[in-house]
Amino acid sequence: MTTKAVLYVVDDEAIVRASIISLVQAHGDFECREYSNGDDFLADLDGLAPGCVVLDLQLDGASGETVMEVLAQRISVFRTIVITGFGDFSAAIEAFRAGAVDFLYKPYEMRPLLNAIDRAFHLLDHGVEPPDLVADAKARLARLSPIEQEVLARLIGGQTNQDIAKTLQLEPRTVQVHRARALAAIEAASVLAAVRTAAIAGWTGAAPGAA
């Protein structure tokens, strides 16, 4: 990039903001700005330089969800990483649908956060995910059998095992088996990790070759 990368940390906990800023400044040459609430960030937004926003969902004033909705309209200039200690899986699904680069639970690990930040700035610079990550994600998804594709797509869409069993007319135990096999095939430790892989690949549930 021709200018210093700008990182905005929007979190109501001062210790979290300080920790993230210390981490990323040790990782690279970043200009960091911090906000303790959503209202102040939104008030400044029109005058802010493009950058990556690390956003907590639990904020005073404007909620993280509200901030995310605003940022989704400016995805070409702001890319968002959501961090939260309280959000459930449905919150993660909504965040990815709104264009979040990643969704991490507190306490987050250092490497996944740094990887997400690197991806965010690559997206800002190039408009697409890093090619090596896309190729890897697509290769993993290509391992899925048709029924595993179907089950995983429905899981990523927010359906429960019971929902899927009813829709596909399968026993719940059979769905659990296909779910476990699908996650193992793409080397995902959780459904959230599978959502991340699908997002990187641009996969919406169609056969991987058609993604």
The pLDDT tens digits of the residues spanning 37-89 come to 999 999 999 999 999 999 999 998 999 999 999 999 999 999 999 999 886 78
Residues 108 and 144 in one domain: no
3-state secondary structure 72-132: HCCCCCEEEEEEECCCCHHHHHHHHHCCCCEEEECCCCHHHHHHHHHHHHHHHHHCCCCHH
Give dist(CA 130, CA 122) in Å, integer.
Answer: 7
Q: What is the dihedral of CA 186, 157, 91, 82, to 10 degrees?
A: 50
Query: Of the candidates 125, 42, 116, which has an alpha carbon nearest to the alpha carbon of residue 81?
Result: 116
Final residue in a domain of this structure, among 90, 108, 126:
126
Give dist(CA 130, CA 144) in Å, integer.
Answer: 23
**Is the bond preceding 107 in cis, omega lying within 30 degrees of 0?**
yes
Q: State the chain's mean pLDDT as an integer.
A: 92
Residue-level pLDDT at 86: 80
Residues 42 and 120 in one domain: yes
Residue-level pLDDT at 47: 97
Residues 102 and 146 in one domain: no
Residues 86 and 23 in one domain: yes
Residues 121 and 160 in one domain: no
CATH of the domain at 182: 1.10.10.10
Residues 149 and 115 in one domain: no
pTM of the model: 0.88
Residue-level pLDDT at 208: 47
Residues 177 and 116 in one domain: no
Model confidence band, residue 28 (pLDDT cutoffs 50, 70, 90): confident
Residue-level pLDDT at 3: 64
Residues 156 and 115 in one domain: no
Mean per-residue pLDDT for 7-23?
96
Q: Quick one: how far is CA 138 from the chain centroid?
A: 17
Residues 90 and 113 in one domain: yes
Q: Which two tokens stand for residue 192?
A: 């959230």
- Work out the angle between the directed axes of helices 191-201 and 131-141 (0-180°, nearest 10): 120
CATH of the domain at 71: 3.40.50.2300
Final residue in a domain of this structure, among 70, 99, 126:
126
Residues 18 and 120 in one domain: yes
In which order are the strands placed within the sheet that holds 30-35?
30-35, 5-10, 51-56, 78-84, 102-105
Residues 137 and 117 in one domain: no
How many domains, the chain?
2
Q: Which two tokens stand for residue 102?
A: 């990643």
Model confidence band, residue 206 (pLDDT cutoffs 50, 70, 90): low
Residues 108 and 148 in one domain: no
Q: What is the pLDDT of residues 139-166, one digit of tens each?
A: 999 999 999 999 999 999 889 999 999 9
Final residue in a domain of this structure, among 78, 109, 126:
126
- Work out the angle between the directed axes of helices 172-185 and 146-156 (0-180°, nearest 10): 90
Mean per-residue pLDDT for 20-34?
93
Residue-level pLDDT at 85: 87
Model confidence band, residue 209 (pLDDT cutoffs 50, 70, 90): very low
Q: pLDDT at residue 207 above 70?
A: no
Q: pLDDT at residue 1 above 50?
A: no
Print the domain residue range for 157. Answer: 132-210
